[in-house]
Every structure is written in C-alpha cells, then in structure tokens.
Amino acid sequence: MGITTIIFMLLSLMAVGSAIMMLVTRNPVKSILWLIVVFFAISGHYIMLNAQFLAVVNIIVYAGAIMVLFLFVVMLMNLNADSEPTRNVRLQAVGILSGGSLLLIILSALMKDGGNNVVQMRIGDEGLISNLGKVLFTNYVLPFEIASVLFLSAMVGAVVIGKK
Amino acid sequence: MFLAIDLAFIIEKLVLIIIVVMGSLLIAMYATYAERKVAAVLQDRSGPNRAGPFGLLQPVADGMKLFFKEEIIPAFSSRFLFILGPGLAMITAIMTSAVIPWGNTVEFFGRTISLQIADVNIGILYIFGVVSMGVYGIMIGAWASNNKYALIGGLRAASQIISYELAMGISLIALLFLTGTLSLKEMVVQQQEGLWNVVKQPLGFFIFLICAFAECNRTPFDLPEAESELIGGYHTEYSSMKLGFYLFAEYINMFISSAVMATLFFGGYDVPFLDESTLAPNIAALIGIAALMFKIVCFIFLFMWVRWTVPRFRYDQLMHLGWRILIPLALFNMLLTGAVVLYFNK
C-alpha cells in the first residue's frame, strides 16, 4: 500500500462520510457545509488523477459560487432544525429503495466492465489545461457549443424571471 | 517502497512555508500600524506615537489587548460555526500565498531552492479558488452570530464578492490570452524578458484593481461592515481575538492581493533595466525579493490612500458598478485583446 492508496482511501472516506453527514444533518446550513467538504474531497480525487484544471474549477464553480448561493438562499429563508418538517416514514422507505436500486445498477455496470477502464494515478497529462482545451475545441466542439448555448438560454431565462 | 518521500524536499518546503506565513503575518501586523499612520498623515494628525519609538510597538500592544479581552459567544448561536468563521477567514487569507513566486531561485548547501512554495500549472486559478472560499469565513461567522445586522453584512459580502469575481475573472482571461500560461512563475519570466503586462493590459489592470478592492472588502466597497447602517456588519457579535482574526485577515488579504497584482501586471520580482543573469543567484534573488516587496508596499499604500480619500458607495451603486459597468468593460477588453492576438498570430 503506497502513499497514493492511503491518500485515496482518506479522500474517499472523507467524501462518503461527509455525504452521509450532509444527508443526516437536520440543520440546512450545516448540510450545505458538509456538501462543500464533499466537493473538496472530490477535487482531491481529481488532483490525484493529475486533472488539476478540473479540480480547481470544481472548487471555484461548485464549492465557491453555487454553494455560496445555496447558503445565501438558506440563510435568507431562515430555515432551522426546528422548522424542518419530520419526513414521512413511508416516503423514507421509498427513497431508500430507489436510491439503493440506483446504486445496484451503477455497481453492476461497473462490475460488468471488468476493470478495463482503470484510471491512472498521478500520470498522464490529459487533465492539464492546454490538452483539455485542445480536445474540447477540436474533437468535442459541437457538444461544447451546444452546452454553451444551453447555458446562455438558462442565463436569459434567469434574467427574464428576475425581471418579473 | 513504502512512503517514498524526499525528506530534504519536505524540510525545504516546510521552512519556506513557515517563512512566508510568518512574513505575511508580520507585514499584515505592520500594515495595521501603517494604516493608522497613513490615515493620520492624510487627516493632519500624528497617529499612534506612544508605544515605542514612533509608536512602532503599537501593533504588538493591540494584539496583546485583543488576546486579553473577554470572549463572548452569543447564546442561541452555533458555537462550532461561530469559532470556525474567523478561523476560515484567516486560513483562506494565508493559503493564497502558496503559489506566489517571491523571488527567483537561491542556492543553499548545494541545493537550488525555488522561492515559490508550489509552482502548479494552474497557479492563478488556485488563487481564485481560495479567494472564493474566503467568503465562507464571513458568511458562516455572520450566520452563526444569530444577529440580524451580522446576517445582512454576511449576505452583502457574499453577493459583493460573487459579483466582482466575475469581472475579475474576465479581465484576467484577457491577460491569459497574452501570456498563454496560468503559472505565475512563467508570467514573471515572460515579463522579465519583455514588457510588463500593465503596458499591454492597462484596462485589464484597472478592472482587476477595482475588483481587488471589492474582494478585500476595502473602502469604498466595505459595505459588509458599514458601521453607519449595520453597527459592525458581519463581525458585530465578535470580540477578543476572534474579532482580531477577522480584522487581521483583511490586512493579509490586502497584502496577498497586492502581491498578486505586482506579480501579474508589474513584473513580480523583476527589476527593470537590470539583467539578473549577470549577478550571483543569491544576490539576484535578494534584489528580486526587495523589488517585489517595494511594489507590494506601493500597492498597500494605494489601498490605504483610497480608503481615507474616497467615501463608501451605496449598495445599489456597488451592484450597478459591478454588473453594468465593470463586466461589459471587461468583456470589451477581452474581445479587443482576442482580436489583436488573433490578428498578429495569423
């Protein structure tokens, strides 16, 4: 077990642990803070794959911008642990069932692959920004542009709703 | 090989980290003194002059006072988050210094040591990431205070930093068109060989400067702690050293953003009209550090000068400036730079 495996284990433990904490915490603000920890752990995984750009963009966009807005809304709505409605037991059971079956499907899909797509740790420079940019603007230029148009339309929509 | 680690490398980096963090703290400490002295000069007063010669021990006395003050944690607030807030503000303020090249390489005991803690190839994005984390310190502290004024201050801080981060990022993209790299070290090397970036990107620098003021919560953008309307803003409920951490983090932020601006636009540790390669590496590095420090001090003075000259914006003016003026201007700058780069690179 090298240092890479140890760090991987720690990061995974951190990601799964804080994801569970996010779900079980009753206070919405604390939930969001746990989610931020999850994003950090995932960024750590990206760095281990030498995808530095992806890691830092994950931090800037998700942990930095989107979560701030989440926090903003939750703070403004004054949600507290006391005002959280107690969830229906039957609803909880259905949730566990559907979530569990999704996990099963993902697991079986990964098992069937037989480990051909094993990721390579710390080597390879596909994740570095110049290579990523080249691939995005040559091989995947159409999906990239479609995604940009989608973003633009979402932005226009948000402005229209905000103006109402 | 179990845990293959180069011990000398770890020690080298550890020493460098300790020096940089201690240096940042020391400079931030004396920035508080400088702030009061500059304010005094601008307002025709003498400023602190009791503790030590010229009042030089004033920051030490202030720090001692903060340590010995009674610590109050409001009831009904989240105790852990209340303590986490100032800690986060401080950590994120210090973390940014990791990717700034403080000088060229020095040679000690036959080892060539780079005066940069981490030369990652996403250097400038790393700074953005850490800066965007900085707002959590304010927001968490504000929310955990369980106080309306603090909450309003925290929300103001969040919306202000998000708004100005956009213009800052876009103005930086124009700069990246020219440099073609995200590594701060390489940017400095490019500026050593050619012109300083401020000559090529005057508009970009101007936008970046304004956004840096907003990101540091400095006047004229210190709405999150506008005392005339919000008592103390996000740190209304804080006392003792926790308050000190918030105030101190602002000075460290100021120091680091000065260092970033000097590195990005003013050649970093480059001394103009001096060929560093003719000097012994250690002497060249020392001159480089001195040059960078001089540039940083100039920027810090600018921060203070503006604070004691320009009055605070109103909140709607702040948002208007950010979204309606700076972002279109930054977009225009980006378009122009892109066109010029495309034209000459044909």
Tell me which chain A residues have a C-beta less than 8 angstroms from the C-beta of B2. Answer: 1-2
Do A75 and A149 form a contact (C-beta atoms < 8 A)? no
Angle at B200 between CA B196 and CA B203, to 5 degrees: 115
- Nearest-10 Cα torsion for A9, A11, A14, A20: -80
User: What is the predicted pLDDT for the residue at A84?
Assistant: 64
- A110 versus B86: the higher-pLDDT residue is B86
Pairing state between β B111-114 and B105-108: antiparallel
What is the value of ipTM here, to two decimals? 0.79
Look at A71 and B165 and tell me if their CB atoms are within 8 Å.
Answer: no
- Judge whether residue A156 has pLDDT over 90: yes
Instruction: Spell out where A34-96 has E strands.
Output: none
Look at A68 and B135 and tell me if their CB atoms are within 8 Å.
Answer: yes
The per-residue pLDDT for range B255-309, each reduced to its tens digit, is 888 988 888 888 878 777 776 667 777 777 788 888 888 889 999 999 888 888 8
Q: Please indicate if any CB of chain A lies within 8 Å of the CB of B7.
A: no
Look at A68 and B139 and tell me if their CB atoms are within 8 Å.
Answer: yes
Cα(A23)–Cα(A96) distance, integer angstroms: 12
For range B314-338, the mean pLDDT = 88
* A3-127: CATH topology: Four Helix Bundle (Hemerythrin (Met), subunit A) (1.20.120)
Look at B1 and A65 and tell me if their CB atoms are within 8 Å.
Answer: no
Q: Give the count of domains, chain B.
A: 1
- Judge whether residue A76 has pLDDT over 90: no
- Judge whether residue A115 has pLDDT over 70: no
Do B292 and B262 form a contact (C-beta atoms < 8 A)? yes
The H or E element spanning position B112 is: strand B111-114
User: What is the predicted pLDDT for the residue at B2?
Assistant: 47
- Measured between CA atoms, how close is B326 to chain A, in angstroms? 18
For residue B190, tell me if it sits in a domain.
yes
The residues, ordered by sequence, that sit 6+ positions from B49 with a Cβ below 8 Å of its Cβ are B55
Boundaries of every domain in chain A? 3-127, 128-164
B61: pLDDT confidence band, cut at 50, 70 and 90? confident
- B48 versus A145: the higher-pLDDT residue is A145
Cα(A89)–Cα(B332) distance, integer angstroms: 56
CB atoms within 10 A of CB A4: 11
The residues, ordered by sequence, that sit 6+ positions from B325 with a Cβ below 8 Å of its Cβ are none
User: What is the predicted pLDDT for the residue at A102?
Assistant: 93
Cα(A98)–Cα(A93) distance, integer angstroms: 9
Q: Name the average pLDDT for chain B.
A: 83
Instruction: Find the domain containing B129 and state its range.
Output: 7-344
Burial of B133 (C-beta count, 10 Å sphere; 0-12/13-18/19+): buried
The per-residue pLDDT for range B6-30, each reduced to its tens digit, is 777 788 888 888 988 888 888 888 8
- A164 versus A116: the higher-pLDDT residue is A164
- Nearest-10 Cα torsion for B204, B336, A56, B27: -10
User: What is the predicted pLDDT for the residue at A70?
Assistant: 85
Q: Please indicate if any CB of chain A lies within 8 Å of the CB of B2.
A: yes
CB atoms within 10 A of CB B2: 8
Do B175 and B264 form a contact (C-beta atoms < 8 A)? yes
Interface test with B, best of A27, A47, A58, A71 (most B CBs within 10 A): A71
Cα(B178)–Cα(B171) distance, integer angstroms: 12
DSSP secondary structure letter of residue B324 = I
For residue B2, tell me if it sits in a domain.
no
Angle at B42 between CA B36 and CA B44, to 5 degrees: 95
Look at B158 and A76 and tell me if their CB atoms are within 8 Å.
Answer: no
Q: Name the average pLDDT for chain A.
A: 83
Look at A56 and B125 and tell me if their CB atoms are within 8 Å.
Answer: yes
- Judge whether residue B1 has pLDDT over 50: no
DSSP secondary structure letter of residue B113 = E
For range B208-224, the mean pLDDT = 83
For residue B1, tell me if it sits in a domain.
no
For residue B275, tell me if it sits in a domain.
yes
Q: Please indicate if any CB of chain A lies within 8 Å of the CB of B10.
A: no
For residue B74, tell me if it sits in a domain.
yes
For residue B53, tell me if it sits in a domain.
yes
For range A37-62, the mean pLDDT = 86
